[in-house]
Each structure stands twice: as structure tokens, then as C-alpha cells.
């Protein structure tokens, strides 16, 4: 009997710790706490056979967890779980990150047109005309990549790693094998195709340039849609 | 829409991305009235979709994300291809060598 009463405070403390762990701390910590309880109770039941019943706690834990999970699924708020503002922010951040990841994959999928891709403020019209006349020659790059597709092995030795706080964070894709060369030429070809449309738009801007120059006057903002200048917003003094 | 920018070094990439972000931030400060929009193609009056601010903000956050990733301790020089998808920096390809 004495042994039971001695053990009770410990059980109480562990239970309390567990409750805190499960509601406030990340899953990994909860797992660690569970493991600690399992070990301590396991050892205790060898030293004090009467402690055996407390192993029941270990069954209660996953049951409780499952119950709380079901409540979440059903949309019932778990009163033990503190819904802080931070959790909400984190959730939203995770969602954005997920969305970004998804977006990043879409590079090989042809997509609907009509995205704002850039916005710039120009001091005068000539500056703007100059900016749309400059476009890097992608064909040269494409040709270059086709030429180097033979020298894969040498390239494998050239690694560029990006470090952040002393830890490797990101490894940019290297042109080390035929697959990545195909990938790069594919991307370049897509860009060239997309640029045809941009160039068509730019050509009509250039042919109408005197009309547009008269309308917009001095300082203005240009909004680019799908890489081409699409909307011009003249800027007056009160707009900034 | 996919676009590609070519650079010779990472510091140029950083400069480009930072300049683009600054331009976009400036653009966000502009209040656009309903009568001010002109179609770039022919100079006629046009309309601007209300979502343009959101799209610009998305690009800014993608640029910041990319800038965070590019913290290289040795500045690589070679052909650096920055792939932009719908205006957001998306991927970087490094091609050893240089275009003559």
C-alpha cells in the first residue's frame, strides 16, 4: 500500500507533463514524453510489481490522442488545445509554402495567360522605350547548352553550394547529366515561345509610340502582364 | 509565362532581384485611380484588374524567398540562368563556362 502512495505523486506529475506536452508542444516532444513514461513505468513495474496497473496510462494516451484527432476532424474545438494566434499564423504560413511548392512544380505545365509579372516606374518615355528594346539573346544560350551536352563528366566536378549560417541550404541544379540539359533546353524553348508573344506586343507599342508618348506625358508606372508592358498609369504629384 | 534572365555571377543575380523588389515595392505605393489607366499597346483607356496588388505582393514574397536562399559564400561566375515564372523567380540553373 505504501508503495502505491509513493508512486502516485510521480504518476500525477507525469500525467500533468504529458497534458502540457500534448497541448502546447510539437509532436516530437510529445513522442519523447510518451517514450519516457513508457520506460519509467516499464522499469517501475519490474521494481514494484504493483505499479503494473499504471501501464494502463500508456493505452489511455493513444486513445486520448485519437479522440482529440477525431474531435478536430469533426470540427469540435478541443478545449485543452490552446488556439493561439501564433498557431493560426503558422498554419497560414504553411499553406503559403505549400502553395508555393505547388507553383514551383508548374513550370512544365502550360498555363492560362494573364498574370501581372512586373511593375516599374519610369521617369520618361525614352527610358521606357529603351527598356523594352533590351532582351537577352536566349537562342545563344540554347545553342551553347546543346554544344556542351557532351562534356557531362567534367561538369559533375563543378559544384556550387549555397550556405546559410554555415549549413548547406540549397543546391542549385547543375548541368551534370543529359536529363538536366534536356530540362534546361526545355525551359529555354518555352521562354523563347513565350517571348514571341511579348515581342508582338512590344512591336505594336513601338509602332504606336508617338500616340502613347503624347497621352502619358512625364512620369508613369508600367504594369507588365505576362512579361509585356500592358497598362500605363501616368503619375501625378499626389499619387506617391 | 516563363522568362529567363542570364547573369554572369551571383552578385548580379542578387542585384537584379533586389532592384526588381524595390521597383515592385515602389509600385505598390502608387494609388491608381479609375480614370488613369492607359493600355500600353495603343494608348486607349483601359482597366486594371483589382488583383494586381496581390499579384505584385506574391512576386515580392517569392523574390524574398529566393534572396534568402542565395547567400553564397563563394561568388560563382559562369552562366547563371534565372527562370522566372509569372514574374516570380523560380529556379536557378548554373551552366559552367561562359558565352563568348
Tell me if A106 is assigned to some domain: no
Tell me if B71 is assigned to some domain: yes
Tell me if A90 is assigned to some domain: no
Strand order in the sheet with B88-95: A173-174, B88-95, B77-85, B2-9
Residues A126 and A31 in one domain: no
Tell me if B100 is assigned to some domain: no
Residues from chain A that touch B31, judged by Cβ atoms under 8 A, are 239
Q: Do B45 and B37 contact (CB within 8 A), yes or no?
A: yes
Residues A170 and A215 in one domain: yes
**pLDDT single digits (tens) B39-95:** 888 878 887 777 888 889 989 998 998 888 776 555 666 778 888 888 888 888 877
Phi, psi of A149 (to 5 degrees): -60, -10
Residue A221 pLDDT greater than 70, yes or no: yes
Report the DSSP beta bridge partners of residue A38.
none
Contact A235 B73 (CB under 8 A): no
pTM: 0.59
Tell me if B6 is assigned to some domain: yes
Domain that holds residue A61: 2-83
On the CB side of B30, how many CA atoms lie within 13 Å of its CA?
Answer: 28
Number of domains in chain A: 2
Residue A35 is predicted with a pLDDT of 76
Residue A174 pLDDT greater than 70, yes or no: no
Residue A79 DSSP SS3:
coil
Q: DSSP secondary-structure letter at B33?
A: P
CA–centroid distance for A106 within its chain? 14
Report, as an integer, the average pLDDT of A85-103. Answer: 60
Report the DSSP beta bridge partners of residue A128.
none
Rounded Cα–Cα distance for residues B5 and A82 (Å): 47
Q: Touching check for A148 and chain B: CB below 8 Å?
A: yes
**pLDDT single digits (tens) A132-160:** 776 667 777 777 776 665 555 455 444 44
Residues from chain B that touch A204, judged by Cβ atoms under 8 A, are 41-42
Residues A27 and A116 in one domain: no
Q: Which three cell numbers stand for residue A201?
A: 506586343
Q: Which three cell numbers stand for residue A170?
A: 540549397
Domain that holds residue B43: 2-95
Contact B91 A104 (CB under 8 A): yes
Tell me if A36 is assigned to some domain: yes
Residue A85 pLDDT greater than 70, yes or no: no
Tell me if B63 is assigned to some domain: yes
Label residues A81-113 b or e (16+ Cβ within 10 Å = b): eeeeeeeeeeeeeeeeeeebeeeeeebeeeeee
Tell me if A147 is assigned to some domain: yes
Tell me if A97 is assigned to some domain: no
Tell me if B70 is assigned to some domain: yes
Residues A145 and A47 in one domain: no
Residues A129 and A176 in one domain: yes
Sign of the C-alpha dihedral computed for residues B37, A219, B25 and A132 taken in this order: positive
Number of domains in chain B: 1
Tell me if B9 is assigned to some domain: yes
Report, as an integer, the average pLDDT of B21-39. Answer: 84
Amino acid at each position: 500500500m505504501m508503495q502505491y502512495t509513493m508512486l502516485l505523486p510521480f504518476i500525477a506529475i507525469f500525467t500533468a507533463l504529458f497534458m502540457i506536452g500534448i497541448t502546447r508542444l510539437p509532436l516530437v516532444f510529445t513522442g519523447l514524453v510518451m517514450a519516457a513514461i513508457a520506460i519509467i513505468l516499464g522499469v517501475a513495474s519490474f521494481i514494484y510489481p504493483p505499479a503494473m496497473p499504471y501501464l494502463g496510462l500508456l493505452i489511455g494516451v493513444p486513445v486520448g490522442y485519437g479522440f482529440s484527432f477525431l474531435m478536430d476532424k469533426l470540427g469540435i474545438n478541443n478545449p485543452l488545445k490552446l488556439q493561439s494566434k501564433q498557431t493560426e499564423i503558422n498554419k497560414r504560413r504553411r499553406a503559403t509554402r505549400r502553395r508555393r511548392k505547388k507553383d514551383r512544380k508548374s513550370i512544365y505545365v502550360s498555363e492560362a495567360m494573364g498574370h501581372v509579372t512586373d511593375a516599374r516606374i519610369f521617369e520618361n518615355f525614352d527610358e521606357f522605350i529603351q527598356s523594352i528594346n533590351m532582351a537577352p539573346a536566349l537562342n545563344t544560350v540554347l545553342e551553347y547548352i546543346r554544344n556542351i551536352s557532351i562534356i557531362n563528366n567534367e561538369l559533375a566536378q563543378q559544384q556550387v553550394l549555397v550556405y546559410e549560417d554555415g549549413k548547406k541550404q540549397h543546391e542549385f541544379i547543375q548541368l551534370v547529366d543529359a536529363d538536366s540539359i534536356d530540362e534546361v533546353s526545355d525551359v529555354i524553348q518555352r521562354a523563347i515561345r513565350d517571348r514571341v508573344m511579348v515581342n508582338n506586343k512590344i512591336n505594336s507599342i513601338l509602332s504606336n509610340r508617338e500616340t502613347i508618348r503624347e497621352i502619358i506625358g512625364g512620369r508613369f508606372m508600367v504594369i507588365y502582364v505576362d512579361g509585356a508592358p500592358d497598362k500605363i498609369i501616368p503619375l501625378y504629384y499626389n499619387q506617391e | 509565362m516563363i522568362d529567363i534572365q542570364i547573369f554572369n555571377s551571383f552578385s548580379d543575380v542578387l542585384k537584379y532581384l533586389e532592384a526588381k523588389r524595390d521597383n515592385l515595392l515602389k509600385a505598390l505605393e502608387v494609388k491608381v485611380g479609375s480614370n488613369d489607366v492607359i493600355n500600353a499597346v495603343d494608348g486607349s483607356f483601359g482597366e486594371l484588374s483589382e488583383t494586381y496588388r496581390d499579384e505584385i505582393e506574391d512576386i515580392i514574397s517569392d523574390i524574398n524567398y529566393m534572396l534568402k536562399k542565395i547567400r553564397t559564400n563563394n561568388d560563382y561566375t559562369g552562366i547563371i540562368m534565372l527562370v522566372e515564372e509569372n514574374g516570380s523567380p523560380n529556379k536557378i540553373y548554373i551552366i559552367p563556362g561562359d558565352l563568348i
